[in-house]
Amino acid sequence: MLLLIFFFSISSQLFSTSSSSSSHCTTVTSTKTFDNCKPLPTQQASIAWTFHPHNATLDLCFSGNFISPSGWVGFGINPTSSEMTGTRALISFPDPNSGHLLLLPFVLSSSVKLQTTPLVSSPLDDHPVHVVSSSASLYGGKMATVHNGAAVQIFATLKLSPNKTKLHVVWNRGLYVQGYSPTIHPTTATDLSSFTTLDVLSGSSSNPKTSSSQTLKVIHGVVNSLSWGLLLPTGAITARYLRHVESLGATWFYVHAAIQLSGFLLGTVGFAMGVTLGDRSPGIVYSLHRKLGFAAFLLAALQTLALLFRPKTTNKFRKYWKSYHHFVGYACVVIGVVNVFQGFEVMGASRSYAKLGYCLCLSSLVGGCVAMEVNSWVVFCRNSKEEKMRREGLICSVAGSEKASGSGTHLRNFD
């Protein structure tokens, strides 16, 4: 029952991660009134605009929020696709010298995405996106200052290509500016989904790329949480506590093998999804999550292959194989569980009901382990005590028979 609750909670929570931060949208600003306004799906951002078909010009206002007093907020138009590379952007940040709000134009090339070169300002007067004018102001007037959560409005007038009303809008925000060069933005799921395609004539928007990637991320998260985070720990628990139940015989081994094999196969599917997601996002690497994923998969593969070289119980190398099997198995379980929690951080669901549901399931397993461990120690101590008493009884009976060979005294009560 807990597994079902967990599955539905994690699915619904992760699907709503990218759409839970849209903002209120208004067409009225301090300097201008626009015809249309649309909340953007992430970062509490929005865009208001007025399109003039007779001369193909677009007046717009992008609204966003700073996440650091020394950070930056920007938006841009990509002439070809909904992605960062190739975007013509306007980025606002406080002047490092005077503290006044700046707005500079940038072209985001692939070298910037891969962080091989710093971002350098360049004019946006090329044919795909021609900026006629631009400005930025903090919400609240001249007395407002840049701080964490401060709202900024970026105004721009663009000259569009004739009959081109669909724009690939990209936006984001970062923590720091080095000199006059904005640094890379955070790489959470929300930050990596900050783009959409907007039709300024009809007002409609779409983002099939985000929808597809988000769906794959959710499936990746659910599959890996069930496999690495629940099935493999359950299989390890089965082997540790059921093998000593004499009435089960060898049944515990087949149950253990079935659970672990199912977890490994399901985890392999989730691992392949993770590799696919990495290939779709060149230059964006969740280093710790990736390393833990490869480590868990490698250990699980070695554990599975070890079954082919499992010595017989009479073999002298059996004890070494058991030590290897236990060490690799427990290491795989621990790394897998840690990586599940790391995955929640990557998905931006560190405080979600999905994580709470997983924690409840994991807590149930841990609670069961504690109860069975205590029971095992109670049984072990009782058996040890009985064995000690039995040995003492045998010694006493032998001593008694040597001293009084004709007596009928027996110490059967210790047996």
pTM greater than 0.85 (yes/no): no
For the beta sheet containing 205-206, the strands, ordered from the edge strand earlier in sequence to the opposite edge, are: 101-107, 88-94, 72-78, 166-174, 195-199, 205-206
Domain containing residue 315: CATH number: 1.20.120.1770
Considering its fold, how many domains does the chain have in total?
2
Of 150, 171, 206, the domain-final residue: 206
> Do the domain assignments include residue 13?
no
Residue 186: φ, ψ to 5°: -60, 155
Asked if residue 32 lies in contact with residue 228, where contact means CB atoms within 8 angstroms, the answer is no
Band (pLDDT 50/70/90 cuts) for residue 210 is low
Among 198, 197, 158, 171, which Cα is nearest to 65's?
171
- CA atoms of 92 and 136, how far apart (whole Å): 7
* Residues 187, 232 within the same domain: no
* Residues 217, 169 within the same domain: no
**Tens-digit pLDDT profile for residues 143-189:** 567 777 788 999 999 988 888 888 999 999 999 898 889 988 887 76
Among 293, 237, 233, which Cα is nearest to 268's?
293
Give residue 405's pLDDT.
47
* Residues 238, 255 within the same domain: yes
Give residue 289's pLDDT.
92
Percent of the chain with pLDDT over 90: 33
> For residue 165, what is the DSSP state?
-
Domain containing residue 60: CATH number: 2.60.40
- CA atoms of 361 and 320, how far apart (whole Å): 33
Give residue 192's pLDDT.
78
**Tens-digit pLDDT profile for residues 214-238:** 788 889 999 999 999 999 999 999 9
Query: Percentages helix, strand, coil for the chain, rounded to the nearest 5?
Result: 50, 20, 30
> Do the domain assignments include residue 320?
yes
> Do the domain assignments include residue 47?
yes
- CA atoms of 45 and 102, how far apart (whole Å): 19
Task: Give me the chain's average pLDDT, please.
Answer: 82
- CA atoms of 177 and 96, how far apart (whole Å): 8
Give residue 23's pLDDT.
54
* Residues 179, 226 within the same domain: no
Give residue 141's pLDDT.
60
Cα-Cα-Cα-Cα torsion 224, 225, 227, 229, nearest 10 degrees, comes to: 130
* Residues 105, 232 within the same domain: no
Give residue 157's pLDDT.
92
Give residue 81's pLDDT.
83
pLDDT at 19 over 50: no
Asked if residue 10 lies in contact with residue 222, where contact means CB atoms within 8 angstroms, the answer is yes
Annotation-wise, does 289 bind a ligand? yes
Give residue 411's pLDDT.
33
Of 206, 224, 244, the domain-final residue: 206
* Residues 229, 201 within the same domain: no
Asked if residue 153 lies in contact with residue 46, where contact means CB atoms within 8 angstroms, the answer is no
CA max distance for the chain: 126
Give residue 372's pLDDT.
86
Question: Based on C-alpha coordinates, what's the Rg of the chain?
Answer: 32
Annotation-wise, does 54 bind a ligand? no
* Residues 279, 340 within the same domain: yes
* Residues 199, 228 within the same domain: no
Annotation-wise, does 220 bind a ligand? yes
Among 136, 127, 198, which Cα is nearest to 158's?
127
The domain of 178 spans: 24-206
Secondary structure (3-state) at 320: helix
And the tokens for 305?
């292959």
Asked if residue 397 lies in contact with residue 412, where contact means CB atoms within 8 angstroms, the answer is no
Band (pLDDT 50/70/90 cuts) for residue 42 is confident
Among 258, 343, 250, 351, which Cα is nearest to 296's?
343
And the tokens for 88?
């013509």
* Residues 257, 335 within the same domain: yes
CA 298 to chain centre: 20
Give residue 402's pLDDT.
47
Annotation-wise, does 325 bind a ligand? yes
Of 206, 232, 255, the domain-final residue: 206
Rounded to the nearest 5 degrees, what angle is found at the Cα of 329, between the Cα atoms of 223 and 311?
125
- CA atoms of 168 and 210, how far apart (whole Å): 13
What average pLDDT score do residues 46-70 get? 91
What average pLDDT score do residues 81-87 get? 84
Asked if residue 240 lies in contact with residue 253, where contact means CB atoms within 8 angstroms, the answer is no
What average pLDDT score do residues 320-325 get? 89
Give residue 140's pLDDT.
66
Count CB neighbours of 22 within 10 A: 16
- CA atoms of 41 and 33, how far apart (whole Å): 22
Q: Which residue has the higher pLDDT, 402 or 119?
A: 119
pLDDT at 21 over 60: no
Give residue 317's pLDDT.
86
Least confident of 21-30, 82-91, 259-268, 298-307: 21-30
